[in-house]
Amino acid sequence: MLVGDANQRGVVQLLKTYRLVVLGATGVTGQNTFRHLAEHLPADFSWAIAGRNPDKMKKLVSDFPDRNSTPAYIPADIVDRDSVDALIKNCDVLIHLAGPYATHGELFFEKCIEHRTHYVDIGGETFFIKRMIEKYHQAASEKKVILLPTAGYESVPFDLLTLLAITHLEGAYQEHCEKIKIVTSFHRLGGVRDNRISGGSIGTMRNILAGDDCNAFNDMACLLPPKADNGRVRDRNKIRYAARYDEDVQAFTGPLQPAPFLNVPVVLRSAHLLSQAGIDYGANFSYSDSMTMEFYADSPEGQQRAAKRSARINRITSIALAGPRPLRGLIRRRLDSLGVEPGDGPSQESLPFVDYTLRLFGESDRGRSIRAQARAKGHPGYLSTSKIVAEVGLFLAEENTRPPVSFGVVTPATALGLEFLPRLERAGVKMEMCDY
Ligand SMILES: NC(=O)c1ccc[n+]([C@@H]2O[C@H](COP(=O)([O-])OP(=O)(O)OC[C@H]3O[C@@H](n4cnc5c(N)ncnc54)[C@H](OP(=O)(O)O)[C@@H]3O)[C@@H](O)[C@H]2O)c1
């Protein structure tokens, strides 16, 4: 795409070698992104996988015979400035899965703007995203480049389900939204069970503990530009890490796993950016999410205990991030003691044996209640995320008409909009408004 002038639609004029490149395809998440693309792309689609270990990349491809399309290989190391430059120069869209991102990620934002390459990742380090917005949002908007972090399970389904509900309220009733609550549930489907978290996800938490110097973890307005009413937005959307019985779903709920601090700022940024495109989330809009606990325990008592435990862990983390450094060090050491290394994670065989649902409960400023839901196939973190981000990359590689708010350091709802829903369905996530 983008070398030379982007035209009115932000479509790229000069052909680069690859329409799409996946960096980090050999990781826990990346493997399934590769497989989804290799299965679905036509044979003549020009794409590549990039990484630091050529033998591992070749093995990944040869171990997957059911492919329609075979990628090229690009040697790339995220710590090597020249290889990052060469990589980004040669693709229309980069899917960056070699996270966590805060340590070496800034170069990607800088180079994607320079070479006019759309960028997508699945990061959750809000302090880092905040910094990237402050430094690069304006330049990326002007150059019509899309820089989209948080494009996995967190936060694509949550952000888009919220957009769907808000658009419905406005379209069907001409009412604005006052409140959205989403309750998630993970479901076991029998078969192989494996609850382990990946080394990449642990790395994200370690990065937050080491690098969040602006308390973004606790600031739900952290991805908004400084504005007079951010204080009120903060108060309305403050996360209270607690276990509670939720009457709407008739179950105990606790904080969303694994990153309860991520969707809220993303959805609030969508609300801010989309208001510039005439989509009004409502003057007093608030968003919250939580999770039922049947994935962790069968009995109601066990679920209550699991919710309390999850709330406690998140409360301690929240206090640590707001407080003195030594407390953060304690949690980091606790994470280290788990012995989870980069590349570790749940077994690939276990990933299809988890599904998840999102149930949305909304209320308009005139007291109308609405409901929506998303049903999704596959482990949220390491299978659903992989497919979602693959489809996001393909969507960005298409020559779509895009509204101006799509460009810059943006969110799923702004970069993708409801036009993305058919592709989301191909990634296994189906959304709909519900009748009462
Ligand atoms: N938003 C969400 O819903 C969501 C869900 C899941 C994961 N995540 C995030 O996704 C990220 C990745 O997680 P993961 O579990 O897939 O991690 P992982 O298994 O550790 O994979 C990391 C990938 O990065 C590559 N890599 C590491 N260092 C590199 C370097 N110097 N140069 C080039 N490539 C390098 C690795 O290559 P090698 O194979 O050569 O080591 C591997 O392909 C994490 O930040 C995690 O938090 C987000």
pLDDT in tens, 39-85: 999 999 999 999 999 999 999 999 999 899 999 999 999 999 999 99
3-state secondary structure of 246: strand
Among protein residues, the one whose CA lies closest to atom 5 of ligand 1: 381
Among protein residues, the one whose CA lies closest to atom 28 of ligand 1: 98
- The superfamily (CATH) of domain 18-153+383-434 is NAD(P)-binding Rossmann-like Domain (3.40.50.720)
What b/e sequence results for 378-388 when a residue is b if at least 16 CB atoms lie within 10 Å of its CB, and e otherwise? bbbbbbbbbbb
Contact assessment for residue 414 and residue 60, using Cβ atoms and an 8 Å cutoff: no
Ligand 1 pocket check: which of 22, 29, 56, 61 to mutate, most ligand atoms within 8 Å of Cβ? 29
- Whether the upstream peptide bond of residue 42 has omega within 30° of 0, thus cis, is no
pLDDT above 50 for 339 = yes
Task: Assess whether the C-beta atom of 29 lies below 6 angstroms from ligand 1.
Answer: yes
What b/e sequence results for 310-337 when a residue is b if at least 16 CB atoms lie within 10 Å of its CB, and e otherwise? bbeebeebbebbeeeeebbeebbeebee
Residue 26 CA to ligand 1 center (angstroms) comes to 8
Task: Assess whether the C-beta atom of 59 lies below 6 angstroms from ligand 1.
Answer: no
Please give the C-alpha separations between residue 69 and each of 44, 48, 61, 389, in angstroms, as whole numbers: 7, 10, 10, 18
CA distance 154 to 263: 6
pLDDT digits 0-9 by tens, 100-135: 999 999 999 999 999 999 999 999 999 999 999 999
pLDDT category at 34 given cuts 50, 70, 90 is: very high
Ligand 1 pocket check: which of 21, 35, 49, 52 to mutate, most ligand atoms within 8 Å of Cβ? 52
pLDDT above 50 for 7 = no
Long-range contact list for 311-314, CB < 8 A, 24+ apart? 311/241, 311/242, 311/243, 311/254, 311/255, 312/241, 314/241, 314/255, 314/260
Residue 79 CA to ligand 1 center (angstroms) comes to 14
Contact assessment for residue 230 and residue 186, using Cβ atoms and an 8 Å cutoff: no
pLDDT category at 401 given cuts 50, 70, 90 is: confident
Ligand 1 pocket check: which of 97, 202, 208, 291 to mutate, most ligand atoms within 8 Å of Cβ? 97
Task: State the Cα angle at 86 between 199 and 32, rounded to 5°.
Answer: 35
Task: Assess whether the C-beta atom of 124 lies below 6 angstroms from ligand 1.
Answer: yes
CA distance 235 to 154: 22
CA distance 87 to 89: 6
Collect all residues with Cβ–Cβ distance below 8 Å to 385 and sequence separation of at least 6. 29, 122, 152, 153, 154
Task: Please state the atom number of ligand 1 nearest to the C-alpha of residue 29.
Answer: 16
Encoding tokens for residue 2?
A: 């983008």
CA distance 300 to 284: 34
pLDDT above 90 for 403 = no
Residue 373 CA to ligand 1 center (angstroms) comes to 29
Encoding tokens for residue 190?
A: 């029998």
pLDDT of residue 436: 60
pLDDT above 70 for 37 = yes
H or E segment and range at residue 363: strand 354-364
pLDDT digits 0-9 by tens, 238-283: 999 999 999 999 999 999 999 999 999 999 999 999 999 999 999 9
Task: Assess whether the C-beta atom of 362 lies below 6 angstroms from ligand 1.
Answer: no
Residue 237 CA to ligand 1 center (angstroms) comes to 30
pLDDT above 70 for 9 = no
Q: What's the start-to-end Cα distance of the chain, in Å?
A: 45
Residue 121 CA to ligand 1 center (angstroms) comes to 10
DSSP annotation string for 173-208? H---EEEEEEEEEEEE-SS----PPPHHHHHHHHHH
Task: Assess whether the C-beta atom of 149 lies below 6 angstroms from ligand 1.
Answer: no
Task: State the Cα angle at 145 between 140 and 150, rounded to 5°.
Answer: 90
Among protein residues, the one whose CA lies closest to atom 48 of ligand 1: 122
Share of the chain above pLDDT 90, in %: 84
Query: Which residues lie across from 180 on neighbouring strands?
Result: 287, 362
Task: Assess whether the C-beta atom of 258 lies below 6 angstroms from ligand 1.
Answer: no
| Residue spans in the chain of domains classed CATH 3.40.50.720 | 18-153+383-434
CA distance 28 to 201: 10
The better pLDDT of the pair 36, 257 is held by: 36
Residue 366 CA to ligand 1 center (angstroms) comes to 45
315 closest CA partner among 251, 247, 213, 243? 243
pLDDT digits 0-9 by tens, 187-227: 988 866 788 889 988 999 999 999 999 999 999 999 999 98
pLDDT above 60 for 10 = no
The four Cα atoms 8, 89, 150, 342 give a dihedral, to 10 degrees, of 170
Task: Assess whether the C-beta atom of 27 lies below 6 angstroms from ligand 1.
Answer: yes
Residue 98 CA to ligand 1 center (angstroms) comes to 4
Task: Assess whether the C-beta atom of 263 lies below 6 angstroms from ligand 1.
Answer: no
pLDDT digits 0-9 by tens, 15-27: 799 999 999 999 9
